[in-house]
Amino acid sequence: MWNKVVFSLELNTIHYEDCIEGIPKRLPPNSIDLIIADPPFGIEFVGLNALYNRKKEYVVKGYSEISKEDYVDFTKKWVEAIYPVLKETGSAYIFSGWTNLKDVLIAIDDAGFKTINHIIWKYQFGVFTKHKYVTSHYHILFVVKNAKEYFFNKVDHYPEDVWEIKREYLKRTKKNTTKLPDELVEKLLNYSSKPGDVVLDPFMGNGTTAVACTKLNRNYIGFEINPNAEEIINDNISKAQVQKV
């Protein structure tokens, strides 16, 4: 429940705290134009190490995955937290792997969101398997509060719901969890926001949303539970600011 406080919306800032607690404390209702959420998928990080050929020295300490037992409750709580802050004209893009997709879909419906599209992001570097198909896609759920009023900038004449975008496979580069491609996040911004809009990322990770907002003249507000990621995020944002000049 939102406390009766006077909110001061801090733009272009990242709060290093749990978004479930931080969002109702820091953001007023109906204040966000676009939400981009790439939450933990509830899978073992050992598998991710194999997928990305990672060594421990290139993974930021402090990353915490959500256990399978806690995933339903975790998903329900963070989806409930983002719903009130989104404007009636706003949109949200929620990433999910296939393993816990049903939990995310249920949480979205229960919170009151309306699903507009189910986008498939096709990528490379899927994990080799012997007895099943290689997983090489993520689900991106395009949801809104009001199916009649949401903003949508039809960038392409014939926008399709399957996107083939390569992962950014950067060796010897330190990262906090997995990193979304800049191209992918910029595409979301171009479709569902305007310059000057306020974009919320409840799981900032490596700061990709903040970087894309900096490039495209959007304002960002982020939450990141791992304080050890602050240096990497600040460095990525600083590089984007330099490139923009």
Listed in order, strand segments (DSSP E) in the chain are: 13-15, 32-37, 86-96, 114-122, 137-144, 162-164, 198-201, 219-223
| Cα-based distances in Å from 108 to 90, 144, 228 | 15, 10, 30
> Domain extents for the chain?
13-244
For the whole model, what pTM was predicted? 0.88
Q: Which residue has the tokens 């790439």?
A: 38
End-to-end, the C-alpha distance of the chain in Å comes to 42
Q: Which CATH class is domain 13-244?
A: alpha beta
Cβ pair 156, 185 in contact under 8 A: no
Sole residue written with tokens 């997709």: 101
Q: Are 139 and 96 in contact (CB under 8 A)?
A: yes
pLDDT (tens place) for every residue of the chain, 245 residues total: 444 444 578 999 999 999 999 999 999 999 999 999 999 876 554 444 444 445 555 556 656 678 888 999 999 999 999 999 999 999 999 999 998 999 999 999 999 999 999 999 998 866 667 788 888 899 999 999 999 999 999 888 889 999 999 987 666 555 556 789 999 999 999 999 999 999 999 999 999 999 999 999 999 999 999 999 999 999 999 999 988 76
User: Strand pairing of 137-144 and 198-201?
Assistant: unpaired
- DSSP class of residue 18 equals -
Read out DSSP for 133-156? PPP-EEEEEEEES-TTT------S
